[in-house]
Amino acid sequence: MKKNLINTKYLLLLAILLGFTACSSDDDSSSSTPETLPELSAGSADFSNYVALGNSLTSGFSDATLFLAAQQSSFPKLLSDKFALIGGGSFTQPLVNDNFGGLALAGNRIPGFNPRFVVTGLSSPVPLESVIGPVTVTTDIVLNNPTGPFNNMGVPGARSFHLLAPGYGNITNLPNANPYFVRMTGATPNASILELAMAQAPSFFSLWIGNNDVLNYATNGGDGTISAITDQPTFDFAITTLINTLTTGGAKGVVANIPYVTDIAFFTAVTHDVVPLDAATAAVVNGAYAQYNGGLQLALAGGLITADEAAARTVMFEESKTNSVVIEDESLTDLSALGLPNYRQATADDLLVLTAGSFIGTEAVPGNPLTVNGVAIPLADKWVLVPSEQDEIKTAVDNFNATIEAATAQAGLAFVDANALLNELNDTGIVSGNFILTSALVSGGMFSTDGVHLTTRGYAEVANEFMKAIDVTYGSNFEASGNLLDIGEYPTNYSPLLQ
């Protein structure tokens, strides 16, 4: 009898468990039913003839050059692949010849147009040739230019007004012409970027221009003698002319604004406190600055500077791995009458350009430790953005973006807030699928080895942002239909062996 009771209890328990299992199985079956997504629709947009205008960010530029693999995943090409699903036509790009990068002129490498940068293991970005040895640059603007017309009219280095400039792609105008655009002009060397775009009668366009109008000034440390910020009237005329012209035939489009350039990895990868010194070396360097520091005290006593400025300008090193570099700062009070230069040590408020990383610590006179750049010899203006220069750049970007947004709204075009996107990237990171993109150089996934241009994964994220903006304005449904890109399918780094 006891045995029967036990068996009955176990049978009841088994029945209950099976019931729960059956319910659980039903629930799982229900929850695993794939969600039915709507069919992809273009809304009111006509993607049959898509033309992209812009600069290096539009061309697919990455790792300090234009190379084939990255170019084939430019954000306009990624967009065109999606557009092709709903009536989009073919999309032609002015492809380079290899994955080395760089440009040649009649067999001779053009200075400054070099092969790509790479990373190996945990190393900092280095030139490709330092890893694999010398390469032959095969993309030659005299010998093998491709044949257009080109749907991707992104020209590395172009500013807003360059898109309107006749002769910008005429090889006889070098060095004032743009070698990348020379490859695209063909039988019409004096045609402007806008003219070649309009000759294709685009039904839809993207325009992302203006970054270089401030970026060139910023990447040169705010040294206006090297590159100045575009003046506001010139910028305003260029943007309004571009948008008004592109929409004359009824074309629809999407326009992006300018990110704050100080949010990019080029200005955040190298910190101000990178000088390691032992006690003996620190004492020697301090001795070299003793006369300068004494002069500051005379200036203070004479009422020429405040106590705060005197303290900020005083140069003092110690035994530490994190001494701050010495910089020139033209915003300081001019004490040249006392024979004192505008020196001070950098702070966290200063932004050192990425290229300063390989310059700091080198010797101006090889073999002389008292000529170390950034220590005994202050960094010149071109290596650092001081707060006053950062403010100048931000003001320009804000004014430029106001022009872009007003012209875009007036024309009823879709708008991508690239500035907000980069702010998000820099502040909290961007969550996309299973990935979080940050502003960290290379490892963050968004910025390539040059700290300015994007990785292929970064360009995929940009393509998604453009599709979202198009959805909002034209009633397409790239996002709702599940047609955004999975950025995990796109690499963040290319092997040095890729040729």
Q: How many CA atoms lie within 13 A of 103 on its CB side?
A: 19
Q: Above pLDDT 70, what percent of the chain?
A: 93
**Helix, strand and coil percent figures for the chain, each rounded to 5:** 40, 15, 45
User: Is residue 399 within 8 Å of 232, Cβ to Cβ?
Assistant: yes
**Pair 70, 174 in one domain:** yes
The tens digit of pLDDT for each residue in 289-347 reads 999 999 999 999 999 999 999 999 999 999 999 999 999 999 999 999 999 999 999 99
**Pair 216, 289 in one domain:** no
User: Is residue 100 within 8 Å of 135, Cβ to Cβ?
Assistant: yes
User: Is residue 132 within 8 Å of 496, Cβ to Cβ?
Assistant: yes
**Pair 303, 449 in one domain:** no
Q: Above pLDDT 90, what percent of the chain?
A: 85
**Pair 380, 395 in one domain:** no
**Pair 54, 159 in one domain:** yes
Q: Which domain holds residue 320?
A: 275-345+351-385
**Pair 295, 367 in one domain:** yes
User: Is residue 156 within 8 Å of 55, Cβ to Cβ?
Assistant: yes
Check the CA dihedral 145-150-154-159 and report its sign. positive
**Pair 395, 373 in one domain:** no
User: Is residue 379 within 8 Å of 357, Cβ to Cβ?
Assistant: no
Q: Which of 328, 362, 385 is the last residue of a domain?
A: 385
* CB atoms closer than 10 angstroms to residue 191: 21
CATH code at position 189: 3.40.50.1110
Establish if 22 belongs to a structural domain: no
Check the CA dihedral 198-200-205-211 and report its sign. negative
**Pair 126, 84 in one domain:** yes
Bigger pLDDT: 23 or 76? 76
**Pair 87, 182 in one domain:** yes
Q: Which of 324, 359, 385 is the last residue of a domain?
A: 385
**Pair 360, 442 in one domain:** no
Band the pLDDT of 28: cuts 50, 70, 90. Answer: very low
**Pair 185, 61 in one domain:** yes
**Pair 181, 283 in one domain:** no
Establish if 8 belongs to a structural domain: no
For the chain, what is the domain count? 2
Peptide bond into 387 cis (omega under 30): no
Establish if 43 belongs to a structural domain: no
Predicted model pTM = 0.89
User: Is residue 199 within 8 Å of 245, Cβ to Cβ?
Assistant: no
